[in-house]
Structure 1
Amino acid sequence: MSVVGQMLYAHPDDPEGVGEKVRAVVEACGLCAQVCVVCADACMREETVAELVSCARSDLDCADLCEATQRVLVRRTAEEDGFVASVLQACVQACDRCARECEEHAEHHEHCRVCAEACRACSRACQDLLDAL
Structure 2
Amino acid sequence: MATSHQSCIDACNACADACDRCAIACLQEPQPKLMARCVALDIDCAQACRLAAGYMARGSALDSAACAFCAMVCLECAKECDQHAMDHCQACADACRACARECAAMAQRPARPETAAGTHSHH
**Would the TM-score normalized by the shorter structure come out above 0.5?**
yes
* TM score, norm. by length of structure 2: 0.84
Q: Percent identity?
A: 34
Tell me what 2:89 maps to.
112
CA contact (8 A) 2:64 2:109 kept: no
d(CA) in 1 for partners of 2:54, 2:44: 16
Task: Give 1:41's match in structure 2, choosing from 9, 24, 27.
Answer: 24
Q: Which moved more, 1:84-93 or 1:113-122?
A: 84-93
d(CA) in 1 for partners of 2:60, 2:71: 20
1:90 matches 2:69: yes
DSSP 3-state at the match of 2:30:
coil
Give the 4+ runs in structure 1 shifted more than 6 A. none
1:111 maps to a residue whose letter is: H
1:90 maps to a residue whose letter is: F
Task: Give 1:76's match in structure 2, choosing from 36, 59, 63.
Answer: 59
Count of equivalent residues = 110
* TM score, norm. by length of structure 1: 0.78
Structure 2 unaligned blocks of 5 or more: 111-123
DSSP 3-state at the match of 1:104:
coil
d(CA) in 2 for partners of 1:69, 1:103: 23
User: Per-residue CA shift, 1:76-123, capped at 9, x if unaligned?
Assistant: 022xxxx22221111001100100010011x2x110000000000000
DSSP 3-state at the match of 2:82:
helix
Coordinate RMSD, CA, aligned: 1.4
Task: Give 1:59's match in structure 2, choosing from 38, 42, 65.
Answer: 42
1:100 maps to a residue whose letter is: K
